[in-house]
Structure 1
Amino acid sequence: GSYQKGKIIHGLRKAGTIPNTTIYHAGTSYDAETHEFKTSGGRVLAASSLSPTIASSSSLSYSSLLSLCFDGMSYRKDIGRVLPAFGLQSNVALRVGVLGSTKGTDLQAIIDAIENKRLSGVEIVAVGSNISSSGILERAKKHNLNTFYVKYGNSQDKGEREKIRIEGDKKVQNELTKANCDVVLLIGWMRILSIQFTEFFQGRLLNVHPSLLPKFGNTMDSDTHSMVIDSDEIETGCTIHRVTEKVDGGEIILQKKCGVTRKGDYPDGVDSLKNKVQALEGAAFLEILEKFRDEKIQSCKRKRRG
């Protein structure tokens, strides 16, 4: 049935900040006295996003919907579903491992796309963290994903710290190897990986950085966004790059951009800019996973023909 009329619509301004996304009004009315948009019955709003792939476009659109709220709000979750490729078997699906130390917001975009059938032929087979109470592990457990935790020790001695790092990385490597991962994503992984680890996963270890590298490399999270705002940049975004022993120095394989307004336009600090960039990060990961999936499918087809 149609929505009741006169319900205040919250979050329109935030929804409008999602890059490359447009919010269309249908069943809405504007109250000039209260300066609020309200429902006027029927279908209320629609979100449309422009991106190179269906999965990344859907991710941006659904990110904008999560910002909206009004009494009785509901929306379809099957828009943009992609049918599995013809003849694609489960053993051909791209097997993805994820490492993270923080909330894992970008992981949710991937989980949602897989569960809502907007990203087919991709399976998350392992999610690991160096922090037992990390949000990314809790997020993965809620969706019944395989998880693991590796504790890294600490030492004041430089040589001992390097030994601890190599031993910890080896344990992580073993977990990912047991899961038979095709590609490994770093989502808020707050440790510098050893050269032994990066060389083992060479070419299939990917990190997302919240800036347009090489700008603001070797920075993290909110510090990166704060530096962008303070530097009067007119655009920012995210970068997905291959991980090597050089921090933020691997081959750039995808960048997504959004505009940056004046410093005074961020009364809430970096949060609004961070939200914009995180929406891009989720879409970027989906685009990359589709690319790796298609490459695996083609490789399997060539092997079968051979």
Structure 2
Amino acid sequence: MISIIRIAVLSSTRATDMDALVDAIRYDGLDAEIVALAANKNCPALERARGFGIPALFVDAKGMDKEEYDRALYAALEPRKPDLIVLIGYMRFLTKWFVDRFPGRIVNVHPSLLPEFAGERDPGIYESILASGKARTGATIHLVDETPDGGPVISQKEVGIAEGETPETLKAKVQAVEQELLVKAVDLFSKGKVAVTGSKVVMPR
């Protein structure tokens, strides 16, 4: 059964991948609605959300420990009744308290083929990937638990690393794949096709 899935995006950066979700909702019939974008600092993602007419919530982390902040974040999001939390360039690791509020309903977009380069972030992650000498990298969409970049993988896709690749050109490649995977993952959630068995994600037919 297809239903409109209510999404809250968390970001600390630009939330560039959100553009793909907005386009898929507006033009491709993705059964979703972005009900809020929340940020832990005054970042470009807030203005990006406002430009799309999405409620932008700045939840300042100053003076709070991790769980205090996550409780404040939950209080800001709960009135919006999100079905799915999507992390796009969110530079904080969520506490168990927050994860437990949305079991199996928090996904992260990570710019590598996890578990490779777990815990690393944009922009430094692209420099690390290039320094490793690997011929391929990619993107991962995964469910979130309280461990850094942990949680069951929903989907991954590889991209090649060309000779002379720079962090900027590699980022563009990886972001294109991130956006493709993210839209597909949200579509699966809207159709009830994502389930967790033990530590693995299964896709019921």
TM-score (norm 2): 0.89
Q: Which residue pairs with 1:294 in the alignment?
A: 191
Q: CA deviation at 1:293?
A: 0.6
Say whether 1:270 aligns with 2:171: no
Say whether 1:282 aligns with 2:182: no
Q: Structure 1 pair 283/119, CA: closer, same or farther in 2 (3 Å)?
A: farther
Q: What letter matches 1:184 in structure 2?
A: I
Query: Paired residue for 2:50, among 141, 148, 164?
Result: 141
More strand by share: 2
CA distance in 1, matches of 2:55, 2:123: 29
Say whether 1:121 aligns with 2:22: no
Q: What letter matches 2:47 in structure 1?
A: E
CA distance in 1, matches of 2:190, 2:77: 18
Q: What letter matches 2:173 in structure 1?
A: K
Partner of 1:221, secondary structure, is: coil
Indicate conservation of the 8 Å contact 2:93/2:147, yes or no.
Answer: no
Indicate conservation of the 8 Å contact 2:12/2:39, yes or no.
Answer: yes
Q: CA deviation at 1:175?
A: 2.2
**Which fold has the larger relative contact order, with Cα–Cα distance below 8 Å and residues 6 or more apart in sequence?**
2
Q: CA deviation at 1:119?
A: 3.5
Greater radius of gyration (CA): 1
CA distance in 2, matches of 1:187, 1:119: 21
Q: What letter matches 2:67 in structure 1?
A: I
Q: Please list the CA deviations of residues 113-143 of structure 1 after superposition, one character each: whole Å capped at 9, or x if unmatched.
A: 2122x133111111100112x1111011011
Q: CA deviation at 1:167?
A: 1.5
CA distance in 2, matches of 1:106, 1:253: 17
CA distance in 1, matches of 2:133, 2:45: 32
Query: Paired residue for 1:172, among 52, 56, 73?
Result: 73
Q: CA deviation at 1:153?
A: 1.6
Detail structure 1 runs of 4+ shifted over 3 Å in the superposition.
none
Say whether 1:207 aligns with 2:108: yes
CA distance in 2, matches of 1:149, 1:294: 31
Q: Which residue pairs with 1:99 in the alignment?
A: 10
Q: What letter matches 1:94 in structure 2?
A: I
Q: CA deviation at 1:211?
A: 0.4
TM-score (norm 1): 0.61
Q: Structure 1 pair 219/179, CA: closer, same or farther in 2 (3 Å)?
A: same
Q: Which residue pairs with 1:225 in the alignment?
A: 126
Partner of 2:192, secondary structure, is: helix
Indicate conservation of the 8 Å contact 2:87/2:109, yes or no.
Answer: yes
Identity %: 36
Task: Note the residue ranges of structure 2 that are not aligned, 5 or more in a row.
Answer: 194-205
Let me know the Cα RMSD of the aligned residues: 1.5
Indicate conservation of the 8 Å contact 1:208/1:241, yes or no.
Answer: yes
**What is the aligned residue count?**
193
Q: CA deviation at 1:229?
A: 1.0
